[in-house]
Amino acid sequence: MAEPVKRRYDSSRRQAQVRATRRMVTEAAQRLFTDDGYPATTIDAIAEAADTPLPTVYRLFGSKRALLTAVLDTSLGGDDQPIAFADRPAVRAARAEPDPVKMLGAFARIARELMDRSSAIQHVLATAAQVDPEAAELLAEIRRQRHTGQSRIVAALDARGALDPGLDTSEAADIVYALLSPEVHRILTVERGWPADRYERWIARSLATLLAADQRPPENPASNPPDQANPDDSAPAAAKHTASRQPDPSRRISGEPDSCPQGNGQSNLFWAA
């Protein structure tokens, strides 16, 4: 008598169900963390919002910190695929771009898209870190990873011989880290109301300050944002010509451009991604 044929267990359907449940829970967690704050949000509330049994939430994530980490991973990466950010196709393509200016433009686009997705939840984390030790530990780890990852932009420029010789790689990496920070993004897009495309253009221009002089794109004198008036535009042509021949000595100290009147609370922003 022939032995019955054993069916091979197909786990793909089960894995798809688990991923779908994880996705529902992380989406609910992101909504509640953003609306109510991390400290005030409980796992019970997340389970209820996700319409998922509480034991299942604990089985999938284990803790509220792990849930926050999952939300951040999804927001930063753009999906729940287990692919490191540095290995994402857009990042790999940017690093492989031989033209330094185009490479920096590609990283400017990546930074914009990443911040579009993750700015709100990163602000939640930074706020929670002020009162929650676990959130503070997670924030410190994310900052460490961000510095390591963004320093690869500098390494790529240096490998092409395109980095400004007046900058060492450590200093340049710190500049990139500061200027691609979520704090700077929030100042510009939330406090100052910049649209995303202006933020991206500013990043690309600012990153270009890391380049050696012979690698930089030509300056565009008409690069003022379209909805911000240039204070020089109302001055007579002769006055502007005279002023242009008399540099302001304070620029050597403050870095403030001559076209920005002292005491008016405005200045050109300096950065490098």
Q: What is the pLDDT of residue 9?
A: 57
User: Reduced to 3 states, what is the DSSP secondary structure of residue 2?
Assistant: coil
Amino acid at 188: L
Q: Give the tens place of pLDDT for each residue, 124-158.
A: 999 999 999 999 999 999 999 999 999 999 999 99
Same topology, domains 21-82 and 83-215? Answer is no
The full length of the chain comes to 273
Q: Give the tens place of pLDDT for each residue, 219-260.
A: 765 445 444 444 444 444 444 444 444 444 333 333 333 333
Question: Contact 179/271 with Cβ under 8 angstroms?
Answer: yes
Q: Give the tens place of pLDDT for each residue, 170-227.
A: 999 999 999 999 999 999 999 999 999 999 999 999 999 999 988 888 776 544 544 4
> How many whole angstroms separate alpha carbon 105 and alpha carbon 224?
18
Question: For the purposes of burial, counting CB atoms within 10 Å of the CB of 252, is it exposed (0-12), middle (13-18) or buried (19 or more)?
Answer: exposed
Question: Contact 86/155 with Cβ under 8 angstroms?
Answer: no
Domain regions of the chain by residue span: 21-82, 83-215
- Phi and psi (nearest 5°) for 188? -75, -45
> How many whole angstroms separate alpha carbon 81 and alpha carbon 8?
26
pLDDT tops 70 at residue 10? no
Fold of the CATH domain 83-215 = Tetracycline Repressor; domain 2 (1.10.357)
Q: Give the tens place of pLDDT for each residue, 212-227.
A: 988 888 776 544 544 4
Fold of the CATH domain 21-82 = Arc Repressor Mutant, subunit A (1.10.10)
* Tokens encoding 249: 């000595």
Q: What is the pLDDT of residue 255?
A: 36
Residue 81: strand pairing partners: none
> How many whole angstroms separate alpha carbon 132 and alpha carbon 65?
10
Q: Give the tens place of pLDDT for each residue, 86-103.
A: 889 999 999 999 999 999
What's the half-sphere exposure (Cβ side, CA atoms, 13 Å) at 107?
A: 29
Q: What is the pLDDT of residue 231?
A: 42
Mean pLDDT (the chain, rounded): 82
